Amino acid sequence: MKRLLLPALLALASPALALDPSWPDLQAALYEGRALLPGDNVIAIDAPYRSADDARTRIAAQIAAPEGRQLASLTVILDENPMPVSAVFSFAEPLPRFTFEATFRVNGPTPLHMVAETTDGALWVSETFVKTSGKGACSAPPGTDPEEALATLGNMEIALSPLPSGSALDRLGALAHGQKQVDIDVSHPSHSGMQMDQISLLYIPMRYVESLDVELDGGAYVDITGSISLSENPSVSLSVPRAAARVGVTMTDTDGTTTHAERTLADY
């Protein structure tokens, strides 16, 4: 269902809505009258006040389910992006907490909403605002030649690094206890459909990472639905249980290309 929503929501950030906040329309389209509860004590967003690179903006968050509840999914929404629903993290099994960091295109100044759903169906929302340098990231020329990008499309590197911590996230307590962080770098041009080939002056067809399905020790962990808001050659970092010994990642793009990579984590 969530993947079908992404193309349909392209129109919701159109210039016609530029004079009015997009969030009420997005909220109505995505959640159809469901109540969104204040999530300031559930979702701690880490995003820049102003993006240094609109085409590759690192956005992170730490999410802790309220006491007695478990996380089912997290949705990242860049309200004014051409495709506002920028990423959806769907957890195979309920989680008490989750940390992520990823690289996004931020097309212009925009509110940023994150909505966590708990397994009892409750929705929790937190928001911030991201300013940009005005470069129009979704229509900016690709950083690599499109033909060269195809040669490595789908290649992935998996690494392990310490979980980040910082004073901005202190109110969530010792969120990283019992976890480690997996870093996934994906080689993909993430064409938005709004970019022009600088030689032919024709628009490059849309082609982006539709999903990253992450497995731990052979079992499903989290499915990530992407969009054109993911940056070129996107990087995604995820918290995983410390006991995880092996991670596998399957990438599928909108042209149907599928690749897979695995890494053993037990030696860390």
pLDDT in tens, 234-253: 999 999 998 999 999 999 99
Q: Are 25 and 80 in contact (CB under 8 A)?
A: no
Could you tell me the pLDDT band of residue 70, with boundaries at 50, 70 and 90?
Answer: very high
**Res 163: pLDDT:** 57
Q: Which of 2-6, 201-205, 225-229, 240-244 comes out lowest in average pLDDT?
A: 2-6
Which candidate, 85, 114, 91, places its Cα nearest to that of 223? 91
With CA atoms as reference, report the closest residue to 55 among 131, 129, 138, 113. Answer: 138
Q: Which of 22-36, 68-82, 151-165 has the lowest mean pLDDT?
A: 151-165
pLDDT tens digits, residue range 14-23?
433 344 489 9
Residue 49 backbone phi and psi in degrees, to 5: -65, -40
CA 51 to centroid of chain Cα atoms? 16
Residue 1: predicted pLDDT: 43
**pTM, entire model:** 0.86
Report how far residue 216's alpha carbon sits from residue 242's, in angstroms, rounded to the nearest whole number.
Answer: 11
Taken in order 186, 100, 180, 66, the sign of the CA dihedral is: negative
Per residue in 99-116, pLDDT (tens digit) is 999 999 999 999 999 999
